[in-house]
Amino acid sequence: MEILYHGHSCIQVTNNGISFIVDPFLTGNPLAKAKAEDIKVQYVLLTHGHFDHIADAVQIAKQNDATVIATFELASYMGMQGVKNHPMNLGGSYAFEFGKAKMTQAFHSSGFVMEEEQKIIYLGMPGGFLITIGDSTLYHAGDTALFGDMKLIGERHSIDLAFLPIGDNFTMGPDDAVQAAEWIQAKVTVPVHYNTFPPIRQDGAEFVRSLAAKGLQGRALQPGETIIL
């Protein structure tokens, strides 16, 4: 299984010829190496409706005839854009072609700002994904604050690879993310959602060192870098 980090919170997972992308934000992302038109996937997973997580979702889904997986409101919104979709909600799970996806809670917000119309579209609750592929389990926390049930997630699931936001300002910062990693107890923790914009500048290498001080393994990926499980 290959996990490709596209920058910000966007990862792409490929296994046995099936590929999905989570929170595609390539267009307008100054750190992204890939372009939306080059992405080949069968599924698009969305944690919530902010622009830096859904910016390229419609284009990628349409050009691949891919299915968008998201909470009911966000999936419905994607459907209104002419995209195939599979609605879910927090706590629910479903077996897809690539594996089993379970939606977890996240403490954040979710909406799409329409600047010209001066409107904000509410797009349901934010969430995360627990994804089980064969014997491996991935956890993408989405955008979130630290919350106590992360400990429960770690106790109930053996997580191989966790993606946790560390940017602060909009999500939890590095200190809270270290606490989250302690509770989750993933074999490897990867920091995401940082350095894309000035308000979320953080040191990924320092975060990994903080994990090591707690006896945890971490890896700070650069956009375009991969992990093989």
User: pLDDT for 132-178, tens place per residue?
Assistant: 999 999 999 999 999 999 999 999 999 999 999 999 999 999 999 99
pLDDT for position 19: 98
CB neighbourhood size of 17 (10 A): 8
pLDDT for position 190: 98
pTM of the complete model? 0.98
Angstrom distance (rounded) from CA 47 to CA 1: 21
User: pLDDT for 18-73, tens place per residue?
Assistant: 999 999 999 999 999 999 999 999 999 999 999 999 999 999 999 999 999 999 99
Nearest to 192 by CA among 222, 169, 212: 222
Range of the domain at 104: 2-228
- Domains in the chain, number: 1
pLDDT for position 69: 99
pLDDT for position 180: 98
Angstrom distance (rounded) from CA 221 to CA 62: 28
User: pLDDT for 73-98, tens place per residue?
Assistant: 999 999 999 999 999 999 999 999 99
CATH classification of the domain holding 198? 3.60.15.10
Listed in sequence order, the residues at least 6 apart from 15 whose beta carbon sits closer than 8 Å to its beta carbon are 1, 2, 98, 99, 133, 134
Nearest to 140 by CA among 62, 15, 53, 17: 53
CB neighbourhood size of 13 (10 A): 26
